[in-house]
Amino acid sequence: MSDVRGSAVDIPTGDGVADSYLVHPADARPRPAVLLYQDAYGLRRHLRSMADRLAAAGYTVLVPNVFYRLGRAPVVDLPEFIDPGADPSIWERLGPVVSSLTPDLVERDAGAYLRWLADSPLAADGPVALTGYCTGARLALWTAAAFPDRVAAAAGFHGGRLATDDAGSPHVGAPNITAELYFGHADDDPSLPPEQIARFEEALTTAGVRHICEVYPGAHHGYTQADTPAYDRAADERHWAALLDLLARTF
């Protein structure tokens, strides 16, 4: 892995300060920027290690604590190995945190993150890419739709609730998206049943969005998260190959 440098940064927003993790190749040259949206478990060691791997491939990566309104990370104290099966109270604590982040707040925050990257000497001029995990896949879609001139590519992995009946469902923004998309769905995912996968695909196709959507057979929701029981090494490596391929095409 190439040498990288990571640090904690604070990003001013309209509602406070988002504590974040920034990592980039050690030479500190401007690199294409990637905004990495966390899963529901939040900014933690594993997310930082994922960002490090992405930076080692030649990118400047920003991982904001999207729940900053409720406190600095960790917003909810979690064990090093997160297993809701062993401790069901984890989701009792996380549920209200996740539901607190509405599409309007995501859009407002995304504007702050993108402005910060535009001003950073570590980020190359031009549009950025997004990647999101679990709930972060929704955030990536909302951001791509809200800032089509700033987002050139967006990826989402084991995302849930991408195409619901809600007025603010992420798929509704498809007509505004100009970025190329890649989505790797988990197999047999209760948060993204087959009817939602079909609705999501139809929305992207109808809107003329360049996209690839694939279901990873046998992979469970959360398959990229090595600090959970859902982790699937083969599916995770497939995710890395797809993500880096998308970024190579973009930049």
Find tokens 């972060």 and name the residue. Answer: 136
Burial class (CB in 10 A: 0-12, 13-18, 19+), 158: buried
Tokens matching residue 63: 């991982």
pLDDT value at residue 25: 98
CA–CA separation, 216 and 94 (whole Å): 26
- Specify the CATH class of 4-250 in words: alpha beta
Q: What is the DSSP string of 120-157?
A: -TTB-SS-EEEEEETHHHHHHHHHHHH-TTTEEEEEEE
User: How many CA atoms lie less than 13 Å away from 235 in the CB half-sphere?
Assistant: 23
| CB proximity list for 18: less than 8 A, separation 6 or greater | 10, 11, 64, 65, 66, 68, 109, 112, 113
Percent of the chain whose predicted confidence (pLDDT) is above 70: 100
For 77-120, what is each residue's pLDDT tens digit? 999 999 999 999 999 999 999 999 999 999 999 999 999 999 99
Question: CA-to-CA distance for 247 and 182, rounded, in angstroms?
Answer: 10
Predicted local distance difference test score (pLDDT) of residue 1: 57
Cβ contact 112:137 at 8 Å: no
Nearest alpha carbon to residue 15 among 153, 107, 135, 137: 107
- The pLDDT of residue 2: 76
The predicted structure's pLDDT at residue 156:
98
User: What is the domain partition of the chain in residue ranges?
Assistant: 4-250
Q: Which residues of the chain have pLDDT under 70?
A: 1
